[in-house]
Amino acid sequence: MSLGAGRGDLEPGADHWYQGRAAMHDLDAELQRRLDALESEGLRRTLRRVESGQGREILLDGRRVLNFASNDYLGLASHPGVAEAAARAARDFGSGSGASRLISGSLPPHRDLEEALAAWKGTESALAQGSGFAAALGVIPALVGKDDIVILDRQVHACCVDGARLSGATLRVCRHNDLDHLESLLSWARNQPGTPRILILTESVFSMDGDRAPLKALVELKDRFGAWLMLDEAHAVGLFGANRTGCAEAEGVAPRVDIQFGTLGKALGSCGGYVCGSRVLTDYLVNRSRSLIFSTAPVPAAAAAARKAIRVVQSPEGAQRCAGVWERLSQLTSRVRELSGASPIVPVMIGEERAAVSRSQKLLAQGFLVPAIRYPTVSRGRARLRVSVTAAHTPEDMARLAEALGATP
Ligand SMILES: *Cc1c(COP(=O)(O)O)cnc(C)c1O
């Protein structure tokens, strides 16, 4: 086969090259216009260059800054034992997993992780995928289709919105944490012809507001109307409940949640997504979750790191790290009283997008990395700073941040 394979249909010649360049110029010109428009609205995003691993401090543009931007709530992304588990798995099983698990199989780190997840969460079964985002895109369309109805809280994560759209089901957006609205939507859905299946999507801790869903009442409602509940515990795992498995456990409703869903990338300090539930659920997803079937399995190191992280979370050390998060949080909220202490995600509401960016830049100049969160992550005009409190922070860090937040206009 010649080196040019794949381009064999093209006649070699300047015309093709020239037309290709022209098309690219047109694309770039168009995209540049779009970027300029984002810039003028204070909505342009760029990637920051960080030179160190995640931790209490990170090296940003050659400067050490306090990191209040990470979802690594328990500080496990830089835990020596977790990193060592990843390194050992890479040595034992290699860097890659070869193919989708349906093609090249589940390796010991995948199986160990899933057994540990199910045992920890108290479910019959668990299934790990490459990311939480990918899991949502696979799971939701596997469960419901065009004859069904999905009711989603207005503030759910983009992956649940996209998964719901991809499913082709009829979507109804519920006002945030509004049980009366949910009840009226459920009642409407139940009265649709053809007895559609109804799937409710919500989060236990909302990723940008840090508030919590009223899970007990929600579970009552979904049972009353015979709906299914998929609960995204991305920001609750490791932090809530006696075993720190999340809010479903903390509120005593875990066995009644049909699909417990989350990420291995936040408090568990690794990367990947999971679904916990019945054996039938995961057996079915192996057959129908397209992001599981058509995507390379998680790398052994990521699975092994998450497995080890679960062990740490379950241990006295995990209890101590978790308690540390809540202590740091109260050290912040007792000083800046208008801030919410419902979860380690603490929004500082600003409103206007450019104002949020400029406040974030001022804090950065003072040595604090506190990201500005803007549309489309939150609604227009609801821009904010988002402080993530972690076990890695010290009491002094919290005092300094409180002072900076109080003092920085
Ligand atoms: C981060 C996040 C996800 C996606 O998880 P990843 O593993 O990062 O893809 C899903 N839901 C919520 C609420 C999240 O914050």
Closest Cα partner for 205 from 163, 275, 263?
263
Nearest to 57 by CA among 322, 398, 393: 393
**351: number of Cβ within 10 Å:** 11
From first CA to last CA, the distance across the chain in angstroms is: 65
Give the integer Cα–Cα distance in Å for 185 and 123: 29
Is the pLDDT assigned to residue 20 strictly greater than 80?
no
Whether CATH 3.40.50.2000 fits 79-314: no
Residue 270 Cα to ligand 1 middle (Å): 12
| pLDDT tens, position by position, 231-270 | 999 999 999 999 999 999 999 999 999 999 999 999 999 9
Q: Is the CB of 232 under 6 A from ligand 1?
A: yes
Average pLDDT, the chain: 93
- Rounded CA separation 166/142 (Å): 10
Q: For residue 172, list its beta bridge partners.
A: 151
Instruction: Record the pTM.
Output: 0.92
Q: How does pLDDT run across 333-351, given as a tens digit for each residue?
A: 999 989 999 999 999 999 9
* 43 pLDDT tier (thresholds 50, 70, 90): confident
Q: pLDDT at residue 138 above 80?
A: yes
**Ligand 1 centroid, distance to 160 Cα (angstroms):** 9
Q: Which residues contact 318 (CB under 8 A, 6 or more apart)?
A: 74, 238, 244, 312
Query: What's domain 57-76+319-407's superfamily in CATH?
Result: Aspartate Aminotransferase, domain 1 (3.90.1150.10)
Note whether 59 and 392 are within 8 A (CB): no
- Give the residue among 150, 145, 154, 152 at the shortest CA–CA distance from 175: 154
- Residue 254 DSSP code: G
Query: What are the tens digits of pLDDT across the range 284-336?
Result: 999 999 999 999 999 999 999 999 999 999 999 999 999 999 999 999 999 99
For 33, half-sphere exposure in the C-beta direction (CA atoms, 13 angstrom radius) is 5
- Cα–ligand 1 centroid distance for 13 (angstroms): 47
Task: Tell me which residue has its CA closest to atom 7 in ligand 1.
Answer: 132
Residue 363's pLDDT band, with cuts at 50, 70 and 90, is very high
Write down the domain spans for the chain.
57-76+319-407, 79-314
CB of 354 closer than 8 Å to CB of 297: no
- Can you read off the two tokens belonging to residue 72? 């690594």
